[in-house]
Amino acid sequence: MNIELDGFSHRMVHVGDIKIHAVIGGDGPPVVLLHGFPQTWWEWRKIMPVLARKFTVVALDLRGAGHSDCPQGGYDKATLAEDVHGTMTALGFKHYAVCGHDIGAMVALALAFTHREAVTQLAILDAPLPGWSQWEANFADPMVWHFAFQMKRDLPERLIYGREFDYVSVIFSDRIFNHGALTTDDVEIYARAFAQPGNTRGGLEWYRAFGLDHAHALGWKQAPLTIPVLALGGEHRYGSRIVSMLEEFATDVCGGSIADCGHWLPEERPVETADALLKFLAA
């Protein structure tokens, strides 16, 4: 299972007391890609070469995932956003666009609010966002059964241990429409990353920070973003609803639904996702 990508290099970037894993390639204005749960930078593999034709692409492993460090704390989205900004600054980028999916979308939104001076454009791919008026009601959706489970302290780590492949497989299959988009090897890559020491706890801590994330976002949205925002949802998940969701946070929102797609846009519909991103980032 080769997790190299032609034309891209791997870097470990020191940000404060931790190291963040970055995969970098391309040339042009910088765009940073932030993955979701239970993924790593690898979720962007199908669209990174396309974006790299016109942009410098930086795909990160968030704190608690992949090859990045897994400290005991700092899993609220504002702190994760500081990791991302610190990484981009260390790489020499003062201004950059950000695209996030799932948990990465929550981090991207936090980054846009906390570093308005740096973020030029924001793309959000299929995610409920802390601070959304329907955030608490969304917990009743059977498709997010894992939210409450993963927010439980300590127990999930014990129940998942040794069953990482089974657990990750269900997370994907519950929310996918195009079942040919992910191979067994792809799922195994994610499962092995999730099983690395510290990473299971790290990934679950993203969810345990939701209370703080929601409180932060309710405050941030009082001064809406004015940068261009792209909101994309999978037809069989959040779909076009994601546009009205983002309109609660920003004044300049475009986007809509990607057809024949579930939650995993960059892997299920990479051509359509890359095309939408290229059009948006080039505007």
CA-CA-CA-CA torsion sign (266, 272, 278, 281): negative
Tokens of 152: 């439980």
3-state secondary structure of 17: coil
- Compute the distance between CA of residue 169 and CA of residue 94 in angstroms, rounded to an integer: 38
3-state secondary structure of 124: strand
- Compute the distance between CA of residue 128 and CA of residue 279 in angstroms, rounded to an integer: 24
Lookup result for tokens 């973003």: 225
Contact criterion met (CB below 8 Å) for 19 and 11: no
Question: What are the catalytic residues?
Answer: 102, 207, 263
| C-alpha to C-alpha distances, 71 to 18, 42, 82, 90, 236, nearest whole angstrom | 8, 22, 14, 20, 35
Backbone φ, ψ for residue 133 (5° rounding): -60, -20
Give burial (CB, 10 Å; 0-12/13-18/19+) of 63: buried
Backbone φ, ψ for residue 227 (5° rounding): -70, 160
